[in-house]
Amino acid sequence: MGEIEGTYRSLQTPAGTRLGAQYNTGISTLEPGQSLGSAMGAGGKGHNRGLQICVQGLDDAQEFYDLESKADGQSFYSEVLRRINLIESDYFGLEFQNLQMNWVWLEPTKLIVKQVRRPMNTLFRLSVKFFPPDPGQLQEEFTRYLFSLQIKRDLIEGRLNCTENTAALLASHLVQSEIGDYDDIADREFLKINKLLPYQERVQEKIMEIHRRHIGQTPAETDFQVLEIARKLEMYGVRFHPAADREGTKINLAVAHMGLQVFQGHTKINTFNWSKIRKLSFKRKQFLIKLHPEVHGLHQDTLEFLLGSRDQCKIFWKNCVEHHSFFRLLDQPQPKSKAIFFSRGSSFRYSGRTQKQLVEYVRDITQYCNALLLKVTFPNTGLNSINVLPFFFYPVDSTTDSPQPSPLNTKGPLCLSPSFQMSTLSLPGQAPSPLQSPILNEVGTARLEEDEEGSRKRYPTDKAYFIAKEILTTERTYLKDLEVITVWFRSAVIKENAMPEGLMTLLFSNIDPIYEFHRGFLKEIDQRLALWEGRSNAHVKGDYQRIGDVMLRNMCALKEFTGYLQKHDEVLTELEKATKRVKKLETVYKEFELQKVCYLPLNTFLLKPIQRLMHYKLILERLCKHYAPPHRDYDDCKEALKEVIAAQLQSSLIRLENFQKLTELQRDLIGIENLSAPGREFIREGCLYKLTKKGLQQRMFFLVRLSFCSILAVLILTSACVEESENEWSVPHCFTIYSAQRTIVVAASSKVEMNKWIEDLNMAIDMSKKCQAKSDLLLDQSPCDRSSDEVSLEQESEDDMNSSRCSLDKQSHHRANTTMHVCWHRNTSVSMSDHSLAVENQLSGYLLRKFKNSNGWQKLWVVFTNFCLFFYKTHQDDFPLASLPLLGYTVSTPGDSDSIHKEYVFKLQFKSHVYFFRAESEYTFERWMEVIKSAASSAGRMSLLVPKGPAEMNGGS
């Protein structure tokens, strides 16, 4: 056979055939294109920087791990296992895509930097590596849950090929596992958000029909059913490796628990059991299977297959070695001893436990736990006969919001901590999972209730704890908001080389240090809350049921960033100038705002650092108000409040918020120039009904200092006046604006709204008259303006209507989450003072949302900002799945007719749209009610003025 690059020989033993190894020439472990010098440079002595690596769990949530630069695969994998508390860990592994986009398993015994060319730019994912033939061999419910997620992933990716009926059956069990018993509305909502099959729309009704039959099944039962169905499929656990036989026919090779399989398309045409195989080897692109003579005779004992490359050959060979060792060997294979002078062949060995060892290990742990329980219940029970260190006694991860349940009795979370650095710029575009772990981060159901109740009882009850937790939850959202700039937007402009170098330096040199500071701050708060809640296993002494010392230390440190914060005014201005000057940057800017991760106008995120100081001030004031002066935390909170530098930046924030709002309007309006020029001041925006020849028609209006802007025209206010005119026009809440250019008759949705507009208009008129001398600062005449002052109201209205259509048709990047569009639908208005109040009332945290016409509850991460609720599956998700603008909604507690008998539930309603949400405590319930009331409005629609038809249809939320 000549020179053999890698072999794996099976030897006869009393237990059966066992594969050994043959000394052959060594083979490289470097990635293609990677030199020894580059690998040494990545992990050598002169490179002390650590590694920050991203891992995607089976629920698609992502977490980042900080590792030593010389960390090996085993230490990395152990850290992943520690965080998720997985006992039957040897069924799983970490995989990544190499330069040829082939999925490769991370080897435990080798350094990460010698396996992955750029580990910090590589996404690793936790996956099932070994699929046992019988799911009954999986002893832990949590393990079976992870396997069901793997089946779900394989269905979505098209790996688990099966008929549509079988796919619908599998999907129906996945739905049952996530939302419980069948409910038509809940099923449709769930399937709308979550994709379980590539062709889901085609079989959705069938999925729902089958789901109806699963009433009463528990999550554990449904997970088992998923595995029972999947294991009978020919493609269960199969990973194709494209190849060709001697005749050049294209085939696919795969390895499974029983041996090697050969497929033509998706049809299995041959299987070589381990008992028939004497040796596996590869030479360059050739993969060789040597069989025992009794199988094919002495002269036909070697089968040859040609793979795409030597690397692909080696990858498949390693998979075969590991599968044989795991499923066939009794004991873990010993590592190959290093040759003194030279070696032949690969030294690769499977380094984990065999399946037999794993089963015995889990059985020992179960016995240990049962004995420990007996020891607690009956102190005289001895435990000396058992000498096992359970794997699940690792410290619990402190990044989750709730105590992690033991994997011995329930499903555990797969949530991952959100840490980003510039090295992760290859990650934008990764989407969060539709399904999450059913305890902490799932789309919850009614069966969540017991877990929620039990978890709530374990929490501290002190109000200070919930205030501290609010700091933690809002800090998480704030850090994710900073990542929109520091990671996602930077990635976009670098990719297109769209931003001038000077602006790049100005922008990121000011925001990067702030982002890095808050990463550390978040970690410190999280650790303190872990100690406070008792979810940390660290054996530390001291009083940690306080937060003032942490706040004081970090508020003092934040003062060092005053210079950076003061430059945000310049950053915002220069960014706006550059987008007007550089066409490529303008294009990238607009395209980026259309991405889901940019859930608010982009320049809003640049205001977050100063706004966050205001939040710290309000939260610290709340703590000081709660504590009595003798309390041990009172003095630190008081001192921390003094150290907050919000007051020094208050005027800067007001100016920035005004500039941001005007630039946002500038982008959304067509035909109006210089709206954000110096001297402009945003006052109010909202929806009014304008009297036209065709009657009252809905229009958007914007009131800006020195001028009154509608989406149709600009009205100069220096010589204007406003009068109520309900009696004159016989229209409720009607008022008339007179000016030298034209007269406009408009109506508001309520008396309150009318008074707000008249008050602000009169204020703007007075301000305009005082500034009349500065006429050069007035807006340029808009193309929408008429040259004659004698245009009749009817003609103007007709022209305005045509202009409106023209303008709206030209707007190519409207964002559905802007206040402008919310006002259009809700017939209310928002002033600058309302915007400022909304900034102060930002909130984040987990809420349970009730499914419509069902007893099920869905656990979601909810962010309140900019008059809107944004919904995520977990706080690690990069973008919201849905949003709910709150303008026009009312917030209250459920009534008797709602038939909800849970505590801490609040009700949101607008017309026929009703939502119920449940908080975890009285404090969080009151906080959500408080902030939502700041955005919700009780003003109803002006139904008498709006004709039925399209206008009414546009009024829905």
Average pLDDT over residues 433-444: 29
633 and 542 share a domain? yes
Q: Choose one of 736, 756, 774: the last residue of a domain.
A: 774
More confidently predicted of 647 and 69: 69
Find the helix or strand (DSSP H, E) in which 41 lies: helix 36-43
Average pLDDT over residues 266-283: 87
The predicted pLDDT at position 764 comes to 77
Q: Is residue 155 a part of any domain in this protein?
A: yes
858 and 924 share a domain? yes
Given a cut of 80, whether residue 875 has pLDDT beyond it is yes
The predicted pLDDT at position 843 comes to 93
More confidently predicted of 731 and 938: 731
Q: Is residue 164 a part of any domain in this protein?
A: yes
- Tokens at 814, concatenated: 């409207």
584 and 611 share a domain? yes
581 and 658 share a domain? yes
849 and 768 share a domain? no
Highest mean pLDDT among 39-43, 375-379, 703-707: 703-707
149 and 199 share a domain? yes
Instruction: Look up the domain containing 499 and give its range.
Output: 464-668
Q: Is residue 317 a part of any domain in this protein?
A: no
Q: Is residue 311 a part of any domain in this protein?
A: no
Task: Look up residue 919 and give its amino acid.
Answer: A
Helix boundaries (H) for 644-777: 646-668, 726-729, 751-770
- Tokens at 914, concatenated: 């009703």
Q: Is residue 857 a part of any domain in this protein?
A: yes
Highest mean pLDDT among 3-12, 140-149, 941-950: 140-149
CATH, residue 854: 2.30.29.30
Q: Is residue 252 a part of any domain in this protein?
A: no
Q: Which residues pair with 270 in a beta bridge?
A: 262
Q: Which of 343-352, 429-438, 722-731 has the lowest mean pLDDT?
A: 429-438
The predicted pLDDT at position 881 comes to 87
**Pairing label, strands 721-724, 714-716:** unpaired
Given a cut of 70, whether residue 142 has pLDDT beyond it is yes
Phi, psi angle pair for 153, to nearest 5°: -60, -45
689 and 649 share a domain? no
Q: How confident is the model at residue 23 (pLDDT cuts 50, 70, 90)?
A: very low
The predicted pLDDT at position 458 comes to 55
Q: Choose one of 167, 201, 231: the last residue of a domain.
A: 231
Closest by CA to 710, choosing from 807, 794, 788, is 807
Q: What is the DSSP letter of 883?
A: E
Q: Is residue 266 a part of any domain in this protein?
A: no
Reported pTM: 0.51
CA distance 865 to 886: 10
664 and 542 share a domain? yes
572 and 509 share a domain? yes
Average pLDDT over residues 548-571: 86
Q: Which of 356-370, 423-437, 651-665, 907-921 has the lowest mean pLDDT?
A: 423-437
Angle at which helices 583-593 and 568-581 cross, to 10°: 110
The predicted pLDDT at position 676 comes to 66
Q: Choose one of 668, 691, 722: the last residue of a domain.
A: 668
Phi, psi angle pair for 595, to nearest 5°: -75, 150
Work out the number of other CB atoms within 10 angstroms of the CB of residue 444: 26
| pLDDT averaged over every residue in the chain | 74
The predicted pLDDT at position 346 comes to 65
Average pLDDT over residues 380-394: 36
Q: Which of 38-52, 228-242, 526-540 has the lowest mean pLDDT?
A: 38-52
Domain count, the chain: 4
Residue with tokens 């902030």: 931
558 and 685 share a domain? no
CA distance 628 to 626: 7
CATH, residue 221: 1.20.80.10
645 and 713 share a domain? no
Q: Which residues pair with 54 in a beta bridge?
A: 64, 123
The predicted pLDDT at position 736 comes to 86
CA distance 66 to 390: 25
The predicted pLDDT at position 862 comes to 94
Q: 415: which residues sit within 8 A by CB, 6+ positions away? A: 57, 61, 63, 399, 400, 436, 437, 440, 441, 874, 875, 876
More confidently predicted of 364 and 190: 190
Average pLDDT over residues 285-305: 76
Q: How confident is the model at residue 876 (pLDDT cuts 50, 70, 90)?
A: confident
Closest by CA to 59, choosing from 393, 426, 440, is 440
The predicted pLDDT at position 757 comes to 86
- The shares of helix, strand and coil residues in the chain, as percent rounded to the nearest 5, are 45, 20, 40
760 and 618 share a domain? no
More confidently predicted of 535 and 636: 636
Given a cut of 90, whether residue 125 has pLDDT beyond it is yes
What is the layout of strands, in order, in the sheet containing 267-273?
Answer: 16-20, 6-13, 277-283, 286-291, 302-307, 241-244, 250-255, 259-264, 267-273
Distances (CA, A) of 120 to 82, 425, 605, 710, 734: 21, 9, 26, 50, 62
The predicted pLDDT at position 672 comes to 62
More confidently predicted of 529 and 389: 529
Find the helix or strand (DSSP H, E) in which 293 lies: helix 293-296
> In this predicted model, what pLDDT tens digit does every residue of 241-259 receive, in sequence order?
999 988 888 999 999 988 9
Average pLDDT over residues 696-721: 66
HSE-CB for 857 with a 13 A CA cutoff: 23
Q: Is residue 372 a part of any domain in this protein?
A: no
How remote is the C-alpha of 445 from its chain's centroid? 20
Q: What is the DSSP letter of 524?
A: H
The predicted pLDDT at position 937 comes to 54
CATH, residue 614: 1.20.900.10
Q: How confident is the model at residue 826 (pLDDT cuts 50, 70, 90)?
A: low
